[in-house]
Amino acid sequence: MTELGNRLKEAREEKGMSLDDLQAATKIQKRYLTALEEGNYDIIPGKFYVRAFIKQYAEAVGLNSENLFEEFKKDIPDSYNDEVSDKLSSIKPQRELPKSASKALELLPTLLVSAGVIVVIAIIYVIVQAVIGGGNQNSADQTKTEETQSKYDVSKDSPLTKENQKSGDNEKAADKDKKENGDDEQADEKKELNIKTVSSQGSSTTYEVSGADKLELEVKTTGDSWVRVQDAKGNSLKEGTMKKGETFQKNITDQDQIDLRIGYAPGVEIKINGKVLSYELDPKNVMTQNITIQNKKEEKSS
């Protein structure tokens, strides 16, 4: 077992995580995790994966991967350029096209021009037909409208007209009152939760929530992941591996701060009052993350 392997294993045991827990948190096969602890890199498919697995292992147990790479650079493969070179050299040059295909390509511009001319003629025909048909339709509509207006014309001073006008004024007043009342109701409902990023460093991000009288935390997994939820005093609210589709909910209205440790961020969705918390750090790049949620409580006026 190498010094690097000992360092990784000690950190894992300090976290109280088994190899099965670490496999669920990092999505790395257990046999590869064992190989990293024993320094047996030969069974891992490629130097790139060795470095990538060490980085994910370190972040899952709370170690700085960059410091590990610098400290143990003699024991860790430093590149994968040889694999890239092998792949590039294996690419065969493109074969020349057959003569029949070349002739077809030469005729392609002529065919495209002919098709374009046909399309233009068709468009012109459709436009002409639409103009002719539209003119006839407009003339018929205008005649029908004039006949209708002549048949049902009512004098402005007639009792019917005045009654209709009065009814219309009453409807407008009612709509105005309804709109004003609706605006007042919407103003009360617009008191929505606000989530903003306060700070972000390494694999840790702090968010601040405000604007809501009640706070409901929801943690849902779309893939297996190790999750830990603690309050400001360090009391554990949830800890362990959550299976795909599992959900954890907790009312955190009275909490000043909540701390989450996510083993596999791409497989975990965090919501507050039903609003999705958008990861400040891309989960694809930083799979293991520390999330701190601070509750900014607003003072109520007496």
Q: Which domain covers residue 232, as residue numbers? A: 194-295
Is residue 287 domain-resident? yes
pLDDT tens-place values along the chain, 302 residues long? 688 989 999 999 999 999 999 999 999 999 999 999 998 888 898 888 899 999 999 999 999 999 999 988 887 876 544 444 344 334 443 444 565 666 666 788 788 878 888 988 889 888 868 767 666 566 566 656 565 555 445 444 544 445 555 556 666 665 666 566 655 555 444 467 798 989 999 998 785 988 888 979 798 999 998 979 899 999 999 999 989 999 999 999 999 999 849 999 999 898 999 999 899 999 999 989 999 789 988 654 44
Confirm whether 243 is domain-assigned.
yes
**Based on the structure, what is the number of domains in the chain?**
2
Answer whether residue 267 is part of any domain.
yes
Judged by DSSP in three states, 95 sits in: coil
Q: What residues have CB less than 8 Å from 195, skipping those under 6 apart?
A: 207, 208, 209, 272, 275, 277, 278
Q: What is the CATH number of the domain that holds 76?
A: 1.10.260.40
What CA–CA distance (Å, rounded) separates 136 from 128?
A: 13
Contact 258, 292 (CB under 8 A): yes
* Tokens 């700070």, residue located: 199
Assigned token pair, 260: 């989450």
Q: What angle separates helix 19-26 from helix 30-38, to the nearest 10 degrees? A: 110
In whole angstroms, give the CA distance from residue 103 to residue 13: 70
Would 46 be classed as within a structural domain? yes
Contacts of 192 (CB under 8 A, 6+ apart): 211, 212
Identify the three-state secondary structure at position 207: strand
234 domain residue, yes or no: yes
Q: Is residue 135 part of a domain?
A: no
Rounded to whole angstroms, the Cα distance separating 58 from 52 reads 10
Q: Domain boundary at 61, 89, 117, which?
A: 89
Could you tell me which residues are beta bridge partners of residue 229? 238, 260
Please say whether the dihedral angle defined by the alpha carbons of residues 281, 284, 285 and 291, taken in this order, is positive or negative.
positive
Two tokens at 284?
A: 């694809």
Domain closes at, from 89, 124, 146: 89
Domain boundary among 70, 89, 108: 89
From the number of C-beta atoms within 10 Å of its C-beta (0-12, 13-18, 19+), residue 173 rates as exposed
Q: Are 25 and 17 in contact (CB under 8 A)?
A: yes
The answer to whether residue 199 is domain-embedded is: yes
Does residue 233 sit within a domain? yes
- Residue 33 CB partners (closer than 8 Å, separation 6+): 19, 22, 23, 26, 53, 57
